[in-house]
Amino acid sequence: MTPTSPDDMEKFGLRGLASLAKMEQNEKTTFAIGQDVNLLGLDLSSDSQILVNMASPWAETSRSDVEPAFSIPESIRAENVHPPPEPCDLKISSFSDETLFYIFYMKPRDTLQEYAARELVARNWRYHKDIQVWLTKDSNVEPVLISQDVEKGVYIFFDPHNWEKIKKEFLLHYSSVQA
């Protein structure tokens, strides 16, 4: 291996490129540093396309070949297609409480969980933020108002661990319940 002189190395660096740029324009310099676009006679200040039928200099097809002319058949136009199936929120009102609880607890961070929670609230169930369970008032027993934001009554709790409804007397703070 023979050592190369600094002059040989510099001709392939920035100094070599600078000297090449100063040379007369020919095939060699055009290949090395490219073509000056301003010398091509194109209107570069215009917003319109320079070439309408060329997608890229590297593309094997022209732009006109990329998107062929087409028409949509009448049989598949939007107005002739069957309507989409009913959204879940329309059918969810027919589900039992247990099914709604299943959806709520088994589909966390899903839109189905949100739909189930909305339906449970519509059925007078409330989510207790502190003990993290759903509860509703027992319709047979009227709660007693203790203060402006606390009441005592009989409530039905849904226990997600045992998957059952439990009735018990409870002191409810309104601030702990998510409406």
Domain ranges of the chain: 6-61, 86-178
CATH classification (class only), 86-178: mainly beta
Statement: residue 126 has pLDDT above 80: yes
Instruction: Give tens-digit pLDDT for 84-111.
Output: 656 666 788 899 999 999 999 998 988 8
Find the range with the poorest average confidence among 59-63, 126-130, 157-161. 59-63
Instruction: Give tens-digit pLDDT for 8-54.
Output: 777 777 777 777 667 777 766 666 666 666 676 677 777 777 666 65
Q: pTM for the whole thing? A: 0.51
Instruction: Give the closest residue to 157 by CA, choosing from 166, 148, 144, 149.
Output: 166
Instruction: Give tens-digit pLDDT for 138-169.
Output: 999 999 999 999 999 999 999 999 999 999 99
